[in-house]
Structure 1
Amino acid sequence: MAWAGRFKSKDKQALADAIDFYGPDVHRLIKRILAGCGSAEDAEECVSDVFLAAWNHIGRYDPARASFRTWIFLLAKYKALDLRRKLQPELGRTVDETALNMQSGSNTEQEILQREAAAEMLRHIGQLSEPDRSLFLRRYYLYESLDELAAAFGFSKKAVESRLYRCRTMLKQALHRTGEDGRGELGSC
Structure 2
Amino acid sequence: MNISEENLASELKNRNPIALEYAMNVYGKNVYTLVYRIIGGIGSREDIEECVSDAFITAWKKIAEFDESRGTWKTWLLILAKYKALDYRRKLQERGNGAPLAAEPTSRTDLETVVLSRERSAQIVALIRSFPEPDRRIFIKRYFYYETLENIAAETGLTKKAVENRLFRSRQALRQQMHLLEQEDTYEGKR
Alignment TM-score > 0.5, same fold: yes
Alignment partner for residue 66 of structure 1, among 68, 71, 92? 71
Give how far 1:62 is off: 1.6
Superposed CA deviations along residues 16-49 of structure 1, whole A, max 9, x for unmatched, are 0000000011101110111311111111111111
Alignment partner for residue 141 of structure 1, among 140, 144, 169? 144
Superposed CA deviations along residues 73-93 of structure 1, whole A, max 9, x for unmatched, are 0011001110000000289xx
**Cα distance change, pair 168–64 in 1 and its aligned pair in 2 (3 A):** farther
Superposed CA deviations along residues 1-21 of structure 1, whole A, max 9, x for unmatched, are 522111100111000000000
Cα contact 1:149–1:160 (8 A) shared by 2: no
Structure 2 unmatched ranges of 5 or more = 1-5, 106-121, 154-158, 177-191
Within 5 Å, which residues of 2 pair with 1:133-172? 133-143=136-146, 153-155=160-162, 157=164, 159-163=166-170
Alignment partner for residue 56 of structure 1, among 55, 61, 65? 61
Q: Which has the higher contact order (CA 8 A, sep 6+)?
A: 1
Say whether 1:6 aligns with 2:11. Answer: yes
* 1:178 aligned residue: none
Superposed CA deviations along residues 103-134 of structure 1, whole A, max 9, x for unmatched, are xxxxxxxxxxxxxx9xxx9xx69x9633x254
**Cα distance change, pair 6–98 in 1 and its aligned pair in 2 (3 A):** same
* 2:188 aligned residue: none
Q: Which of structures 1 and 2 has the bigger CA Rg?
A: 2
Superposed CA deviations along residues 126-145 of structure 1, whole A, max 9, x for unmatched, are x9633x25422322322358
CA distance in 2, matches of 1:53, 1:96: 24
* 1:184 aligned residue: none
Structure 1 unmatched ranges of 5 or more = 101-116, 170-189
Amino acid at match of 2:133: S
**Cα distance change, pair 145–54 in 1 and its aligned pair in 2 (3 A):** closer
CA distance in 1, matches of 2:100, 2:14: 47
* 2:116 aligned residue: none
CA distance in 1, matches of 2:172, 2:70: 24
* 2:133 aligned residue: 129
The normalised TM-score by structure 2 is 0.60
- Residue identity over aligned pairs, in percent, reads 38
Superposed CA deviations along residues 46-85 of structure 1, whole A, max 9, x for unmatched, are 1111111000111111222221111000011001110000
Number of positions where the alignment pairs a residue of Structure 1 with one of Structure 2: 145
CA distance in 2, matches of 1:44, 1:16: 16
Over the residues paired in the alignment, what is the CA RMSD in angstroms? 3.9
Amino acid at match of 1:52: I
* 1:111 aligned residue: none
Amino acid at match of 1:137: I
CA distance in 2, matches of 1:11, 1:145: 30
